[in-house]
Amino acid sequence: MGLEAGTGNNFLVGTSGQTNTFWLPEVFSKKVQVAFRKSAVAEAICNTDYMGEISQFGDTVNIIKEPTITVTDYTRATTTLASTVLTDAELVLQVDQAKYFQFKVDDLEKRFSHVNWQTVASDNAAYQLKDAFDVNVLAAAIAGIGSNAYGTVAAPIDTGHASGEIDPLDVLARLARLLDEDNVPEENRWVVAKPAFYEELAKTSSKLLSVDYNQGNGGLRNGLVASGELRGFKMYKSNNISTPSGSGSPTHHILAGHMSAISCAQSLSTVESIRDNASFKDIVRGLLVWGRKVLRPEALALAIIKID
């Protein structure tokens, strides 16, 4: 915090009888005000089974799908058995997404600054890369959903506790039913929603959310709302989940799924510090590459709701 000239008579230049009128004391804190971070949930809801098979932008992983075998009735009169032709259907996970950062640190800043600017800036850059990855994966998941939808943009589910509105707990129950009907395993299910949805859910009964969301001590991280499950879902809260296109601000996406539905593979392929030829500065830069693929659309479900 600095005290500028003219702020009070103690340090006002030209004040009668005052000595050292051009000396102004300034104190610079060594603590940097860190910007608030959004929770990132993509790494918690995706499987990383193919992470070790990619290393750089453009890498491709071919994933063979299990064939579906036809079961046919058999009688003693059957003379010819029909065979199922095995197909080599496959899914392709391609590393086709990339984000980078770059900043410069002046030699004078390194020599005379009271904080380590390279460390501070690198920490923020790492967060920005992770946030961009999170937004991208959630958008890809919503775009890759099959037929499991509850509500539409034109007719969102009016969620709340007033007359005629659908209880948010019932919204989760419907998402669970949609997954049940596609034989999705109950273990490792998750749901991602914005804070507004969890506010409505808390109004149902605070006991549902395991002692007010997070045990009352902030012990849960990365968007996980509660230590327990609700309607079979691990609950995640995120501001990165998109708002339905063309809808008003009260309309929200509620994304539910199973851990096997989406596969992600990412690699911080390049982090380097080089000398700038045009100045007395160091250039610090990094490149994050990743791929994401909805492997099982039937293991995802989406609710489009309205909260007013």
pLDDT tens profile 207-251 = 555 444 444 444 445 667 766 788 999 999 999 998 887 655 579
| Residue 277 phi, psi dihedral angles, 5° rounding | -75, -20
Q: Are residues 38 and 23 in the same domain?
A: no
Give the separation between CA 187 and CA 75, rounded to whole angstroms.
Answer: 39
Length of the chain (residues): 308
Q: Report the candidate in 302, 293, 306 with the shortest Cα–Cα distance to residue 42.
A: 293
Q: Is residue 72 part of a domain?
A: no
137 shares its domain with 240: yes
Provide the H-helix boundaries in the chain.
42-45, 107-112, 117-143, 168-181, 195-204
Residues 38 and 5 in one domain: no
Q: Which CATH number is 156's domain given?
A: 3.90.1690
Residues in the chain with pLDDT values less than 70: 1-37, 51-55, 64-66, 88-90, 204-223, 226-227, 246-249
pLDDT of residue 206: 43
Return the pLDDT at 183: 95
Residue 125 and residue 19 share a domain: no
Domain count, the chain: 2
Predicted local confidence at residue 203, as pLDDT? 81
**302 alpha-carbon distance from chain centroid:** 16
- What is the span of the domain harbouring residue 26? 1-30
* Contact present, 282 and 226 (Cβ < 8 Å): no
192 inside domain: yes
Residue type, 43: E
DSSP 178-218: HHHHTT--STTEEEEE-HHHHHHHHHH-GGGGTTTTTTTTT
Residue 279 φ/ψ, nearest 5 degrees: -160, 175
Q: How far apart are CA 196 and CA 200, in angstroms?
A: 7
190 and 210, same domain (yes or no): yes
Give the pLDDT confidence score for residue 26 in this predicted structure.
55
* In a domain? residue 10: yes
20 shares its domain with 118: no
Q: Which residues contact 118 (CB under 8 A, 6 or more apart)?
A: 105, 110, 273, 282, 284
Q: pLDDT at position 270, please? A: 79
Instruction: Indicate the burial class of 138 (C-beta count within 10 angstroms; 0-12, 13-18, 19 or more).
Output: buried
User: Could you say which DSSP state residue 85 is in?
Assistant: P
On whether the CB atoms of residues 114 and 28 are closer than 8 A, the answer is: yes
Residue 49 has a pLDDT of 79
Each residue of 160-178: pLDDT tens digit? 888 889 999 999 999 999 9
Residues 18, 142 within the same domain: no
Residue 304: the pLDDT is 95
Determine, yes or no, domain membership for 84: no
In terms of C-beta density within 10 A (0-12 exposed, 13-18 middle, 19 or more buried), how is residue 29 classed?
exposed
> 260 with 120, same domain?
yes
pTM: 0.77
pLDDT at 88: 67
